[in-house]
Amino acid sequence: MTATPAPLPSNPPAAPAAAVAPATAPTAAAAPTAAAARTVGLTKVYGSGDTAVRALDHLDLTVGAGSFTAVMGPSGSGKSTLMHCLAGLDTATSGQIWLGDTDLTTLSDKALTILRRERIGFVFQAFNLLPMLTAEQNITLPLRLAGRPVDRDWFTQVTATLGLTDRLPHRPGELSGGQQQRVAMARSLMTRPDVLFADEPTGALDSRSSTEMLTFLRRSSTDFGQTIVMVTHDPNAAAYADRVILLADGRLAGDLADPNVESVLAAMATLGE
């Protein structure tokens, strides 16, 4: 019988607020200590000349440690590019990208690879589980590849919270879509990442599994203090976050604290969505 995940607390503790960086950008030496991630004048341009596309345009943004931030915007607004830059998957054309006190724009490719492996977690729409491994083996794989021991207490806490205790011996083909996404999320949490990035994490799930996944993301922030940045087009998903960032044409177009579905829909309407 599949374990039933513990319900979300009726009054979860508020995650630390995140704020937009001031208009006057601080110097490179002023790396924040209360921010999990930050951009300063971040610009990303693809191509050149007449075919150049400015995906991000001098974007200043701060994501507070322990917060759950949703990023929304119309197609082409720059939300996926922002996540890729923050996660070290893409490089800046100009400006700075901070992960804690580390400026990603100064790192070599090798250093970025190590940073992504040790300090960043990912949950994608595709589960990316290895079919020949059990759920437990998939969850612990990043640690084993890095030659790091598995913290069994943390493993037990994460898998129990995600309702996976009795599914650990099963391979992905024996799990439902929602269970596979939970395995993927447990895998991303095992390294205790500085920031967990979620790219449309409910896109391939039915409504029940989507609700479970969003509840687990919220609990990761409130119960574990996990910083989460989620890209989504769904106002219902965004309402689980404690902050919604709206982008348009690569610029900050809105910033909602304590969002609900109605406030998100109203904000998106101003962007023509």
- Asked whether residue 9 is assigned to any structural domain, the reply reads no
The pLDDT confidence band at residue 30, using thresholds 50, 70 and 90, is very low
Beta-carbon neighbour count of residue 242 at 10 Å?
A: 24
The pLDDT confidence band at residue 273, using thresholds 50, 70 and 90, is low
Phi, psi values for residue 79, rounded to 5°? -65, -40
The pLDDT confidence band at residue 17, using thresholds 50, 70 and 90, is very low
CATH number at residue 94: 3.40.50.300
- Asked whether residue 263 is assigned to any structural domain, the reply reads yes
Q: Please tell me the distance from the alpha carbon of residue 259 to that of residue 135, in angstroms, as a whole number.
A: 34
Closest CA relative to residue 5, chosen from 243, 206, 241, 186: 186
Residue-wise pLDDT for 153-163, tens only, equals 999 989 988 88
**Number of domains within the chain:** 1
pLDDT, position 203? 81
**Which of 201 and 54 is assigned the larger pLDDT?**
54
- Asked whether residue 18 is assigned to any structural domain, the reply reads no
pLDDT, position 145? 86
- Is the sign of the CA dihedral 50, 51, 57, 58 positive or negative? negative
Closest CA relative to residue 228, chosen from 189, 260, 268, 259: 189
Residue-wise pLDDT for 222-261, tens only, equals 988 999 999 999 999 999 999 999 999 999 999 999 999 9
- Asked whether residue 28 is assigned to any structural domain, the reply reads no
Residue-wise pLDDT for 99-136, tens only, equals 999 999 999 999 999 999 889 998 887 888 999 999 99
pLDDT, position 168? 97
* Residue environment code for 58-73, b if the CB has 16+ CB neighbours within 10 A, otherwise e: bbbbbbbbbbbbbbbb
Domain span at residue 84 reads: 35-269
- Asked whether residue 180 is assigned to any structural domain, the reply reads yes
- Asked whether residue 22 is assigned to any structural domain, the reply reads no
In this predicted structure, which of 92-96, 126-130, 262-266 has the lowest mean pLDDT? 126-130
Residue 47 tokens read as: 């191509």
Sort strands 102-103 and 94-99 into parallel, antiparallel or unpaired. Answer: antiparallel
Span 177-195, average pLDDT: 91
- Asked whether residue 16 is assigned to any structural domain, the reply reads no
Q: Please tell me the distance from the alpha carbon of residue 31 to that of residue 51, in angstroms, as a whole number.
A: 34
**pLDDT at 11 > cutoff 80:** no
**Is residue 187 within 8 Å of residue 142, measured between CB atoms?**
yes
Cβ-in-10-Å burial (0-12, 13-18, 19+) of 153 comes to exposed
Residue-wise pLDDT for 200-212, tens only, equals 888 878 888 888 8
- Asked whether residue 259 is assigned to any structural domain, the reply reads yes
